[in-house]
């Protein structure tokens, strides 16, 4: 019996666990899976991976139920009355709160209702919903019955819905009549109807949540066809026919597909990133615990939309698997004013706040008074994800929001990685503004130079990972099982034997990692290699600049020329003089 304890609560733990994880990979991931989750059947092998052919399989032979791990087991442990989900709507004062018992009841009803629509294990269910509790219920219900959920972010167009539904051949779509984001009403159902009109014969049922009763949208669009009338149903009517509140969670294989998330790469068409039940949930649970160090009764708030991987892993699955209270917000950071985040933090006593650099920069530009008018005493930890955070924004977040007492975890990961790979552990890892710091246990990053050779010590290059981890995607949906697959071609072909992240990174003398941005965004000006992230970080040190984006434009003299889009602070007017000072800032920060 494996008795290694992978938990981490101080720096010595981190060093010890990291070392063990590299020396005894299988024993380490075996211990993590046992500790984090409840399994119905143990694995026959910890993993079966081969980067040379693009094979990633975790915990083969094992069985579990994801939804049971997120709900039932906490109730069985006597925590049914603990808050599972705090939902905050777009309008101030709009809230719905669910205990684990209450959320479990709703998930069971939705699972039964999906089964009543003949949804079976392996079937795909598309969710085109805003951040509302019905979305949490739907994904957990899918996972419970083994249906594969595919959440499409509400900002995507009808054309994008169409191509995704066509690719994954979904039989059911769950949507809402719309959502408010700030003062803007977005009619989601109209976009679904438009997508269906392009032809999605796989779709047998469309379920619509009435988010606002005053919306004009009808259940079947404006001119419903016969088919539309029969395949459309309202959420409330759908659930009204379900009389039971109990649904027995079945065992699913650890390798059964759990969800698909479409993400853009270098090709024109988004890829369906596929994650599997056992590995994904193990990794979501473990990383949520070690990175954020949640304590009993903490309110954890990840501001992401569930339409992205961050929302999957750290708004829903990670915290719920760990029995934590998670907060879900439907609105935007600037509505009704730029103090909204901190008003919510104060009201719900949020302990851990996890957001994105863009949001932080927007709020920083709005003025400190929007932050300081609300108490942030409850905050113990701050987090950031999604793009490199420039030291300027990091320092503002640290000083103004966190009052210099809340560590910032700058978490580096991707849709493909399922969970965080490189990040400080809150309150444990020493911090450097702008650095994602060190790899989590079990993660072996390497930096390759232009020739594809691993470099040691300080230096920069392509960021690759040497060995698989349980959160790693298992494949591209609809891919061939033959070698070479799309999965292999995209992630393993460029550097043989490694997973290539697509990112560039720099490692300093102390082994700390600094993500420099996508390698596909690297530009070369007169032979000088520039990271767009580096340029953008320089621009925002200029006092008039909120946000910037740098791109390369082909140039006959210099190869590529640098072009920068700039978003100015409110009340700062564009002028030639301003452009000159911004250019000077870039010359100063990056080089002439
Ligand atoms: C890309 C992945 C991970 C969830 C959100 C984005 C960039 C992500 C960081 C960070 C610097 C970061 C990378 C990565 N990225 N986190 N902390 N520092 N860059 O997921 O859409 O799959 O994007 O986001 O370039 O490759 P995604």
Buried (b) or exposed (e) across 424-436, using 16+ Cβ within 10 A? bbbbbbebbebbb
Cβ-based neighbours of 454, under 8 Å, separated by 6 or more: 446, 447, 448
3-state secondary structure of 241: coil
How many angstroms is it from 335 CA to the middle of ligand 1? 26
CA distance 146 to 448: 39
Grade residue 88 by pLDDT with cuts at 50, 70 and 90. Answer: very high
Nearest CA residue ID for atom 2, ligand 1:
414
Pairing of strands 271-276, 257-263: antiparallel
CA distance 61 to 148: 19
The label of the residue with tokens 């990961």 reads: 413
Looking at the CA of residue 388, tell me the nearest atom of ligand 1: 11
Please, what is the end-to-end C-alpha distance for the chain in angstroms? 61
Grade residue 545 by pLDDT with cuts at 50, 70 and 90. Answer: very high
Looking at the CA of residue 416, tell me the nearest atom of ligand 1: 22
Q: Which pLDDT belongs to residue 268? A: 44
How many angstroms is it from 452 CA to the middle of ligand 1? 22
How many angstroms is it from 554 CA to the middle of ligand 1? 26
Ligand 1: which of 515, 522, 531, 533 to mutate, judged by most atoms within 8 Å of the beta carbon?
A: 515
Cβ-based neighbours of 304, under 8 Å, separated by 6 or more: 310, 311, 314, 315, 354, 355, 356, 385
Among 301-310, 472-481, 560-569, the range scoring the smallest mean pLDDT is: 560-569
Q: Which pLDDT belongs to residue 65? A: 98
Residues with CB under 6 A from ligand 1: 263, 309-310, 385-388, 410-415, 436, 501-503, 515, 517-518
CA dihedral sign of residues 576, 580, 582, 583? positive
Closest CA to 333 of 300, 355, 307: 355
| pLDDT at residue 423 is higher than 90 | yes
**Tokens coding 406:** 């809340």
- 582 — phi, psi (to 5°)? -70, -45
Nearest CA residue ID for atom 6, ligand 1:
386
3-state secondary structure of 465: strand
How many angstroms is it from 227 CA to the middle of ligand 1? 41
Q: Which pLDDT belongs to residue 461? A: 97
Nearest CA residue ID for atom 18, ligand 1:
388
Grade residue 217 by pLDDT with cuts at 50, 70 and 90. Answer: low
CB atoms within 10 A of CB 222: 9
The label of the residue with tokens 């016969």 reads: 226
Q: What are the DSSP E strand ranges found in 201-346?
A: 205-209, 232-234, 252-253, 257-263, 271-276, 299-302, 325-329
Closest CA to 35 of 80, 79, 82, 69: 69
| pLDDT at residue 288 is higher than 70 | yes
Pairing of strands 172-176, 95-99: unpaired
3-state secondary structure of 361: helix
How many angstroms is it from 504 CA to the middle of ligand 1? 11
Grade residue 504 by pLDDT with cuts at 50, 70 and 90. Answer: very high
How many angstroms is it from 384 CA to the middle of ligand 1? 10
Cβ-based neighbours of 340, under 8 Å, separated by 6 or more: 92, 331, 332, 333, 334
Nearest CA residue ID for atom 12, ligand 1:
387
Closest CA to 304 of 294, 295, 312, 296: 312
Q: How far are the Cα atoms of 14, 277, 279, 291 from residue 283, in angstroms, in the given order? A: 17, 10, 6, 12
How many angstroms is it from 182 CA to the middle of ligand 1? 26
Give the pLDDT confidence of 314-352 residue by residue, as tens digits: 999 999 999 999 999 999 999 999 999 999 999 999 999
- Give the rounded percent of residues in the chain with a pLDDT score beyond 70: 93
Give the pLDDT confidence of 92-139 residue by residue, as tens digits: 999 999 999 999 999 999 999 999 999 999 999 999 999 999 999 999
Q: Which pLDDT belongs to residue 9? A: 98
How many angstroms is it from 167 CA to the middle of ligand 1? 25
Grade residue 51 by pLDDT with cuts at 50, 70 and 90. Answer: very high
């Amino acid at each position: 019996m494996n008795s290694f304890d992978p938990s981490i609560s101080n720096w010595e733990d981190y060093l010890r666990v990291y070392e063990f994880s590299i020396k005894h990979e299988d024993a380490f991931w075996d211990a993590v899976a046992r500790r984090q989750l409840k399994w119905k059947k143990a694995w026959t092998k910890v993993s079966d991976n081969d980067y040379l052919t693009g094979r990633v399989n975790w915990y083969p032979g094992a069985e579990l139920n994801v939804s049971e791990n997120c709900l039932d087991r906490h109730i069985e442990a006597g925590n049914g009355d603990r808050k599972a989900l705090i939902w905050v709507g777009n309008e101030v004062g709009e809230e719905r709160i669910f205990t684990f018992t209450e959320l479990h009841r709703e998930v069971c009803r939705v699972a039964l209702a999906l089964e009543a629509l003949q949804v079976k294990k392996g079937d795909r269910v598309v969710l085109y919903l805003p951040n509302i509790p019905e979305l949490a219920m739907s994904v957990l219900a899918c996972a419970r019955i083994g249906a594969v959920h595919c959440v499409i972010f509400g900002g995507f167009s009808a054309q994008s819905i169409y191509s995704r539904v066509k690719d994954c051949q979904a039989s059911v779509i769950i949507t809402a009549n719309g959502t408010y984001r700030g003062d803007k009403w977005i009619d989601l159902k109209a976009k679904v109807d438009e997508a269906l009109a392009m032809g999605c014969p796989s779709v047998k049922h469309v379920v619509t949540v009435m988010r606002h009763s005053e919306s004009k949208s009808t259940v079947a669009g404006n001119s419903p066809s016969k088919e539309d009338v029969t395949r459309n149903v309202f959420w409330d009517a759908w659930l009204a026919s379900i009389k039971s509140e109990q649904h027995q969670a079945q065992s699913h294989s650890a390798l059964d597909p759990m969800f698909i998330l479409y993400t853009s790469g270098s090709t024109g068409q988004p890829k369906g990133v596929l994650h599997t039940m056992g590995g994904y949930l193990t990794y979501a649970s473990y990383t949520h615990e070690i990175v954020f160090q949640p304590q009993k009764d903490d309110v954890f708030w990840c501001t992401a939309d569930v339409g992205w991987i961050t929302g999957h892993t750290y708004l829903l699955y990670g915290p719920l698997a760990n029995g934590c209270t998670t907060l879900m917000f439907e609105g935007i950071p600037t509505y009704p004013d730029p103090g909204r985040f901190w008003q919510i933090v104060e009201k719900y006593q949020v302990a851990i706040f996890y957001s994105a650099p863009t949001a932080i920069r927007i709020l920083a530009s709005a003025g400190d008074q929007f932050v300081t008018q609300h108490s942030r005493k409850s905050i113990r930890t701050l987090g950031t994800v999604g793009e490199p955070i420039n030291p300027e924004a990091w320092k503002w977040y640290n000083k103004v929001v966190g009052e210099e007492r809340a560590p910032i975890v700058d978490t580096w990961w991707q849709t493909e990685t399922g969970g965080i790979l490189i990040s400080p552990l809150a309150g444990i890892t020493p911090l450097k503004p702008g650095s994602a710091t060190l790899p989590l246990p079990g993660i072996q990053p390497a930096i390759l130079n232009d020739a594809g050779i691993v470099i040691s010590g300080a230096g920069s290059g392509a960021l690759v990972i040497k060995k698989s981890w349980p959160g790693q995607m298992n494949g591209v949906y609809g891919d061939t099982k033959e070698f070479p697959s799309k999965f292999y071609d995209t992630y393993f072909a460029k550097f043989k034997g490694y997973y290539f992240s697509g990112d560039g990174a720099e490692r300093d003398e102390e082994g700390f990692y600094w993500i420099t941005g996508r390698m596909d965004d690297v530009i070369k000006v007169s032979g000088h290699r520039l990271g767009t992230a580096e340029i953008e970080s320089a621009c925002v040190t200029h006092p008039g600049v909120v946000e910037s984006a740098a791109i390369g434009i082909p140039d006959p003299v210099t190869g590529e020329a640098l072009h920068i889009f700039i978003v100015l602070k409110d009340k700062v007017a564009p002028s030639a003089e301003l452009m000159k000072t911004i250019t000077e800032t870039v010359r100063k920060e990056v080089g002439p």
